[in-house]
Chain A
């Protein structure tokens, strides 16, 4: 029995989520980040935990941390100075990428700069073929020459990515050994160790990101481990991963690319857990912060996974919780174009200077300012008492648009909200269209600082009939770490036909993957509980140019039962394309093992029940919507009890966010403190 602590860091706050095993309670708090004194916010949070909830460092039985160090390093291009060794005559693999540019219609479109400039990319002799045969031996002299040139350029590390190394890593390994001998001070990563998948650009980029963020993450984790030890925390910290799992901080020092998207991923894991606990299994999660909104899909209680998620302008090709980021947040700026049409975004006031009403020097009108002018914000302190939005400043900012639009101040503010919602409508629609689902079959779970403010209106725009506002919308990511399993992915590109002759090969490859997975779980992770292997294959019909992911049965894979595996593919194909072709040969491109060990999930004591159905409003607010001022009740979230029922329009204020509930929705509070909204018929 003890305390479990989840900690997630964002742009402005470090969020703490505490799960008290003994009292079966959950608590949360936020601490302002201190970019100039990294680690200080952690100390402050730990001391507040002790002060407020009596959490002694030695009573912490689990410490899970999500960090944005990796993603910030990539976005700000502040990572390691690297050299890249490629197969000679293929040096431009990262410059060419997959050719397509981000904007198809612009003559001026360009991709972000590669993580390694061309003068630190060196081709070396040697060639592995697609079947793994060595056509030309590794030219060791050219490796040595490249290492010397790289050293002269002052690199910190070397990434090695050769053609077809997914099939045979021998030449990459040999080159790594040469680097280790010739330049022991440099760190080395091989594409075949980081993520050995077919497709040279994707594999090279993944290895490069790993190397690029490695020193920053290594130093950060070392400091974290040290800080915790210094405070008397005895448990080894865990780090949340892009794949929605966790791993030990010690492993994270080298498996850096695995934690690049840890914050967004654990947000979705936390949201999925909240939804499952509330009995909602088909959920779209919407995390809205100051500068962006993250959308994810939870199907049958499970987050969706994908490859090709974006970090800044770079794609990340390891399996990650699938999250679509859209450039709309509370800070998106409204403006009027030459035709007199009101636009919102893509420019954002971000967290500095932030919306005008935050009083930090912002003067341009944002979505948050529009909510303030309409009376939804500014009634209550935000961020655990850190500040209260200044409505007068919001009105000044919106006034600059009201005049050219020929609208009253409040009308202009409401127009901004409506335009912003219709823009988000486009993006959410696109995201769900990728999965081929209809948002109306889903519930919406909104979290993040601006989630419950915009989310319910957006859900209404999308025609969604059920929405869920979690008890602590501001710390869902920190909660996600607490409920995440220990988890790692292992891949092997097979490029084998799913025919009985290949059965033994498959079984052998599966066994090898399983051995690696168990080694990781037992020896690296020291996990003692039940091991859960999950199998996936990227499959296609021979000659098709793309694969679909097929979940496979553990027994079928271990037995190498190709007939059943092929059948699983035909069915998956039929599910997506409405047809399958059992006469064609199915092909297994990649075999993937997801090895996980289940975390103990928190159990929460229910909220005390309400003594009357309707809660008592703190007071009435005047808010502007549907083109008129209206009186609506303001509820304090802390006063809500299980079983309370009320109806929109109303506003619910709490420490970390303000929820705006539109008319036409009935609200009820469940035993966990979530607010469930249901559309009236």
Chain B
């Protein structure tokens, strides 16, 4: 029988307290920058079926509130008290989502029965493989992404499985960091067990078990309550990553959101086939997979800040994930840089929900957070230096009742930077600029948040720079309801000099003494008609340098005379500009508009149909062939079909292979 609602709320608080305790223990005792500064870790309390019942709200990343351990846990056949299970294999139970993420869980026994699990994940700096830090979009199969462990026992009856740990440490580049974090992590599990035992003492095991199940029902109810407040209907949206690999073509992610009453289907049919790069998102086709629903957590929490964060939320949603697509890749597709695609998945869902309830949703957040690392030598000591420089993050999208936050926010709100002074004291580079980038937020009734701009100079030969998650250099963060798209991101070497080089989405390169690297993140999209923005706000933005003086007139129709508004001229200009018809819901910017004039919905439909009919290992190849072939506007589906026929004609071998399938 369900618990009474009073006990339920008390139990909800105690369960969250247990999760928060674990998170603080981990944070306090962990060793690596990933845990300490970036907070790339999560903590959960699971029920006996392995479903997340509670997560901490203050610390850690936001991705795994609805994580389901249900497939991975039974891959270890039997558990005993004192056991701790772990895995980092993205293809064993679809729990870990790339190899650096080590997921562990500890069953909590009472009277011989598992009552619940304490669990979590940490991002290890390196798990071995082809490249330092194990991640590069250029990798093509998971085997290159480091050593993998299927679900195994890290501890047996409280005793460390030293052999397994030795295997891990032999294969990774920074064993001391991994060991330090792992110790902290196990400490957090033991804290969790202690807290759970206190709850068993307080509530009784039966009440606790029932309560964990009721907490899922409670969250599910909250999710459904929100869904009921959204109009029924079918909402299609697509968003693109700039490149599907080095020198690639755009990668499209598409969703049809079907809301009916208090439940929703998210049909990802129309998303690109799995890639021969590491941007794939490993889900195993699980219709409730957490990576597909991170955008949903944001939408729900933004609408109800009292939301309980647990697996119950995902029950109201059902994802359709076509096999062999980017969102359900087949082994052994590489998945290391799924974080780039996940950023697109979040903007995809924010966009789809925005169609369903435009009055309650923001425009697109900047959507690309470059994680910048420098590998160089310190000339004063001769030692090699590897350091994480700042993440370069952009602003939030314009909100229903306010501007997007500048420089960070929305789905990147959990990232932290490293002080310039700390980096300069430790790494032989000098910063030339770090601040907001003028004029980068999408114009709107509520302006999109500004991008950040970071510039630094290097002084040592062969300095290796990596910038992961580079995207949105081509396709911009979209505006809605008349708001304009934010400015695209750029990355360049020696801007303004004769030896200038535009790098944009290139994510790893070498710099030499005197070279200056400039990274400008994307800006957030604007929301609502910019002609409706109060002229005073526009003037203030100009004075602050947030909006360029020429944009006041061009984008906002505000005529300025120094620091004074010419109201009459502004009125006249705005009257003249006012659109005669309703503005389209989205403003994508010129790059996407141009691309979609070639790849119209119809043409893309033909492409998706052709690719879906092919064996999986042919799809990426054919996609590239067709993308290369189609360059003219207006061809539609016929042109795609024709190009495919031409491709088959040119490759008779392929025709036999494909039809034999």
The interface residues of chain A, by DSSP majority, are classed as: loop
- Selected contact of B297 from candidates A105, A118, A135, A340, CB within 8 Å: A105
Contact A96 B435 (CB under 8 A): yes
Contact A419 B421 (CB under 8 A): no
Within the complex, the shortest CB–CB distance from B304 to chain A, in Å, comes to: 9
- Selected contact of B225 from candidates A90, A108, A338, CB within 8 Å: A338
Whose C-beta in chain A lies nearest to the C-beta of B396?
A: A107
Per-position 1/0 for B388-431, Cβ under 8 A of A: 10010100110100100111111111111111111011100011
Contact B9 A426 (CB under 8 A): no
The answer to the question of B512 belonging to the interface, with a C-beta cut-off of 8 Å to chain A, is: no
* Contacts A90-B434, A130-B424 known; 17 new A-B pairs at CB < 8 A: A89-B433, A89-B434, A89-B435, A90-B433, A105-B297, A105-B298, A107-B350, A108-B362, A111-B405, A198-B422, A339-B221, A339-B225, A425-B13, A430-B17, A430-B20, A436-B25, A577-B184
> Would you mind naming 10 contact pairs between A and B with Cβ atoms under 8 Å apart?
A89-B433, A99-B393, A99-B415, A101-B408, A101-B409, A107-B302, A110-B409, A415-B6, A433-B25, A544-B31
How far, in angstroms, from A337 to B365 measured CA to CA in the complex?
A: 30
Per-position 1/0 for B1-41, Cβ under 8 A of A: 00001101110011011001100110011010100110100
Which residues from B are CB-within-8-Å of A426?
A: 13-14, 16-17, 20
Per-position 1/0 for B46-73, Cβ under 8 A of A: 0000000000011001100100000000
Given A119-B540, A339-B222, A418-B6, are A96 and B57 also a contact pair (CB < 8 Å)? no
The answer to the question of B158 belonging to the interface, with a C-beta cut-off of 8 Å to chain A, is: no
Contact A495 B435 (CB under 8 A): no
How far, in angstroms, from A495 to B424 measured CA to CA in the complex?
A: 11
Whose C-beta in chain B lies nearest to the C-beta of A584?
A: B176
How far, in angstroms, from A232 to B17 measured CA to CA in the complex?
A: 54
The answer to the question of A578 belonging to the interface, with a C-beta cut-off of 8 Å to chain B, is: yes
Given A100-B414, A342-B9, A434-B28, are A105 and B405 also a contact pair (CB < 8 Å)? no
Interface-centre pick from A111, A163, A423, A426 (highest chain B CB count, 10 A): A426
Contact B24 A434 (CB under 8 A): yes
Which residues from A are CB-within-8-Å of B184?
A: 577
Contact A90 B17 (CB under 8 A): no
Contact B419 A200 (CB under 8 A): yes
How far, in angstroms, from A166 to B420 measured CA to CA in the complex?
A: 13
Contact B413 A109 (CB under 8 A): yes
Contact A463 B198 (CB under 8 A): yes
Contact B62 A105 (CB under 8 A): yes
Contact B218 A430 (CB under 8 A): no
Contact A545 B452 (CB under 8 A): no
The answer to the question of B544 belonging to the interface, with a C-beta cut-off of 8 Å to chain A, is: yes
How far, in angstroms, from A130 to B408 measured CA to CA in the complex?
A: 26
How far, in angstroms, from A105 to B296 measured CA to CA in the complex?
A: 10
Interface-centre pick from B405, B418, B432 (highest chain A CB count, 10 A): B405
The answer to the question of B382 belonging to the interface, with a C-beta cut-off of 8 Å to chain A, is: no
B residues neighboring A (CB under 8 Å): 5-6, 8-10, 13-14, 16-17, 20-21, 24-25, 28-29, 31, 33, 36-37, 39, 57-58, 61-62, 65, 176, 180, 183-184, 187, 191, 198, 218, 221-222, 225, 297-299, 301-302, 305-307, 309, 350, 362, 365, 388, 391, 393, 396-397, 399, 402, 405-422, 424-426, 430-436, 452, 455, 540, 543-546
Contact A163 B297 (CB under 8 A): no
Contact B421 A163 (CB under 8 A): yes
- Selected contact of B421 from candidates A108, A118, A200, CB within 8 Å: A200
Which residues from A are CB-within-8-Å of B452?
A: 96
Within 8 A of B (CB), among A199-220: 199-202
Which residues from B are CB-within-8-Å of A164?
A: 421, 424
A residues neighboring B (CB under 8 Å): 89-93, 95-96, 98-101, 103-111, 117-119, 129-130, 135, 163-164, 166, 198-202, 337-343, 405, 415, 418-419, 422-423, 425-426, 429-430, 433-434, 436, 463, 495, 543-546, 576-579, 581
- Selected contact of B9 from candidates A89, A118, A343, A543, CB within 8 Å: A343
Interface-centre pick from A100, A111, A202, A423 (highest chain B CB count, 10 A): A100
How far, in angstroms, from A616 to B548 measured CA to CA in the complex?
A: 78
Given A107-B302, A109-B409, are A339 and B5 also a contact pair (CB < 8 Å)? yes
Whose C-beta in chain B lies nearest to the C-beta of A434?
A: B24
How far, in angstroms, from A346 to B284 measured CA to CA in the complex?
A: 40
Contact B436 A425 (CB under 8 A): no
Within the complex, the shortest CB–CB distance from A581 to chain B, in Å, comes to: 8
Within the complex, the shortest CB–CB distance from A460 to chain B, in Å, comes to: 11
- Selected contact of A99 from candidates B306, B391, B545, CB within 8 Å: B391
- Selected contact of A433 from candidates B20, B31, B410, CB within 8 Å: B20
The 5 A-B residue pairs with the shortest CB-CB distance, nearest first, are: A92-B435, A101-B413, A433-B24, A118-B544, A89-B433
Within the complex, the shortest CB–CB distance from A491 to chain B, in Å, comes to: 14
Interface-centre pick from B16, B297, B435 (highest chain A CB count, 10 A): B435
Contact A198 B421 (CB under 8 A): yes
Contact A108 B302 (CB under 8 A): yes
Contact A130 B6 (CB under 8 A): no
Whose C-beta in chain B lies nearest to the C-beta of A118?
A: B544
Contact A576 B28 (CB under 8 A): yes
Interface-centre pick from A89, A106, A163, A577 (highest chain B CB count, 10 A): A106
- Selected contact of B413 from candidates A89, A93, A100, A579, CB within 8 Å: A100
Interface-centre pick from A104, A163, A201, A546 (highest chain B CB count, 10 A): A104
- Selected contact of A578 from candidates B14, B183, B365, CB within 8 Å: B183
Within the complex, the shortest CB–CB distance from B146 to chain A, in Å, comes to: 22
Contact B306 A343 (CB under 8 A): yes
Which residues from B are CB-within-8-Å of A107?
A: 298-299, 302, 350, 362, 365, 396-397, 399, 410-411
Whose C-beta in chain B lies nearest to the C-beta of A436?
A: B28
- Selected contact of B305 from candidates A106, A423, A544, CB within 8 Å: A106
Which residues from B are CB-within-8-Å of A419?
A: 6, 9-10, 13
Contact B435 A199 (CB under 8 A): no
Contact B419 A199 (CB under 8 A): yes
Whose C-beta in chain A lies nearest to the C-beta of B55?
A: A105
- Selected contact of A201 from candidates B176, B297, B309, B419, CB within 8 Å: B419
Given A89-B432, A110-B405, A119-B543, are A105 and B309 also a contact pair (CB < 8 Å)? yes
How far, in angstroms, from A91 to B10 measured CA to CA in the complex?
A: 47
Which residues from B are CB-within-8-Å of A338?
A: 221-222, 225
Contact A577 B31 (CB under 8 A): yes
How far, in angstroms, from A405 to B5 measured CA to CA in the complex?
A: 9
How far, in angstroms, from A95 to B33 measured CA to CA in the complex?
A: 23
Within the complex, the shortest CB–CB distance from B90 to chain A, in Å, comes to: 24
Which residues from A are CB-within-8-Å of B39?
A: 100
Contact A108 B399 (CB under 8 A): yes
Whose C-beta in chain A lies nearest to the C-beta of B542?
A: A119
Given A91-B435, A101-B408, are A129 and B21 also a contact pair (CB < 8 Å)? no
Which residues from B are CB-within-8-Å of A337?
A: 306
How far, in angstroms, from A592 to B268 measured CA to CA in the complex?
A: 57
Contact B420 A90 (CB under 8 A): yes
Whose C-beta in chain A lies nearest to the C-beta of B27?
A: A434
Which residues from B are CB-within-8-Å of A110?
A: 402, 405, 409
How far, in angstroms, from A108 to B298 measured CA to CA in the complex?
A: 10
Which residues from A are CB-within-8-Å of B396?
A: 107-108
- Selected contact of A96 from candidates B17, B21, B407, CB within 8 Å: B407
Which residues from B are CB-within-8-Å of A543?
A: 426
Within the complex, the shortest CB–CB distance from A81 to chain B, in Å, comes to: 15
How far, in angstroms, from A243 to B61 measured CA to CA in the complex?
A: 33
- Selected contact of A579 from candidates B183, B416, B435, CB within 8 Å: B183
Which residues from B are CB-within-8-Å of A576?
A: 28-29
Which residues from B are CB-within-8-Å of A340?
A: 5
Which residues from B are CB-within-8-Å of A429?
A: 17, 20-21
Within the complex, the shortest CB–CB distance from A90 to chain B, in Å, comes to: 6
Which residues from A are CB-within-8-Å of B307?
A: 105
How far, in angstroms, from A262 to B36 measured CA to CA in the complex?
A: 30
How far, in angstroms, from A199 to B423 measured CA to CA in the complex?
A: 10
Whose C-beta in chain B lies nearest to the C-beta of A166?
A: B421
Contact A545 B33 (CB under 8 A): yes
How far, in angstroms, from A269 to B414 measured CA to CA in the complex?
A: 35
- Selected contact of A104 from candidates B16, B413, B422, B424, CB within 8 Å: B413
